[in-house]
Structure 1
């Protein structure tokens, strides 16, 4: 049912995730807000649904979905308990998102530092060979990159590789 909502672009799960609201479908057999989804849910043996939007920061959205086999499965107390659980789940998801974002940033920083190092090495090689300034050496590297339609880092790495090949 969730996959169907993703394909259609609407349904209680998606609406709850976007709004952060708690949406209760007491009886899929009489639900009118999402008629196509409700028919599929009823056909799948789902009688009721609670979709709770997770309050996650940034551009991350999500929802906790509870499915009941019978209509009117979820009373007010159960919905409130599910909201409490959803708040804890949102903290866990926010932490996981923060960890993943931080790990991605660290990898990007590591890659940038490696790129910078090899570019600086290539500039040094060019400066030594051509007796030019660092800015002129960078200009030569940039032109080689453009002319060969290759990334600057790749051009620099190839130059450093050629320069160090004889020293091995």
Structure 2
């Protein structure tokens, strides 16, 4: 464990106090990994796996070793962190020297100084799953008490992560909606200009803009914005 170990109660409190308006999803993920390393029994390295559909990625890690241990599983298509994420389960590898479920990965982990490993499923969102992965240099590092603590930590982490994911998704949707509204406004302005110049209907004006967009291989919004800028006497950049 890190030299600056943290009391579990304080760690849980910090997870609950994460201000989503002051950080992003990556920031929350990194905070979870760092707190886990300082809090969990015998935790030498930690990573967080996110699984969206069939696409896994390591969203946070405390060292290159933790990252490489995950990526080898992704390449193979199976392993403790992937299985824990998919099943929402806790998977313990008490001793990488005797582990038979994932022999190749275990041998690689052992060769890099990992004696035992623990992966705990993290439900994030309906289509996104995750796992908290904890590695120790010691064999038999995670007894029942250590696993219970890790599962408790994972429960708090899952709530923080789900809230962050929802916040991030909502913010992204709001941004896209704002951009869509701005695009619609400039297109409507451009239609009005075309209608005045060509003395045509709204549908005919839109068709004219759409044809210019297609012929010039430019987005409709860009065509409309250029027309509005020209009509207002601005210089197109």
Q: Same fold (TM over 0.5)?
A: yes
Secondary structure at 2:140 match in 1? coil
Deviation digits for residues 30-64 of structure 1 (CA, Å, limit 9, x no counterpart): 11111111011111111111100112222222111
Residue 183 of structure 2 corresponds to: 115
CA distance in 1, matches of 2:105, 2:201: 67
What displacement does 1:6 show? 2.7
- In structure 2, stretches of 5+ residues that fail to align are 1-68
CA distance in 1, matches of 2:234, 2:220: 23
Residue 18 of structure 1 corresponds to: 86
Residue 217 of structure 2 corresponds to: 149
CA distance 1:41–1:109, change in 2 (3 Å): same
* Greater Cα radius of gyration, structure 1 or 2: 1
Residue 33 of structure 2 corresponds to: none
CA distance in 1, matches of 2:86, 2:104: 19
CA distance in 1, matches of 2:70, 2:99: 16
Comparing both structures, which one devotes a greater share of its residues to helix? 1
CA distance 1:166–1:85, change in 2 (3 Å): closer
Secondary structure at 2:96 match in 1? coil
Residue 9 of structure 1 corresponds to: 77
Instruction: Spell out the pairing of 1:10-159 with structure 2 (5 A cutoff).
Output: 10-159=78-227
What displacement does 1:9 show? 2.5
What displacement does 1:7 show? 3.0
Aligned residues: 167
Comparing both structures, which one devotes a greater share of its residues to strand? 2
What displacement does 1:129 show? 0.5
Matched, 1:164 2:214: no
CA distance in 1, matches of 2:189, 2:139: 69
CA RMSD across the alignment: 1.4
- In structure 1, stretches of 5+ residues that fail to align are none
- Does structure 1 retain, via aligned residues, the 8 Å contact 2:213–2:223? yes
Q: Point out the more displaced range, 66-75 or 109-118.
A: 66-75
**TM-score for both structures, normalised by structure 1:** 0.94
Secondary structure at 2:133 match in 1? strand
Relative contact order, higher structure (CA 8 A, sep 6+) = 2
What displacement does 1:166 show? 6.0
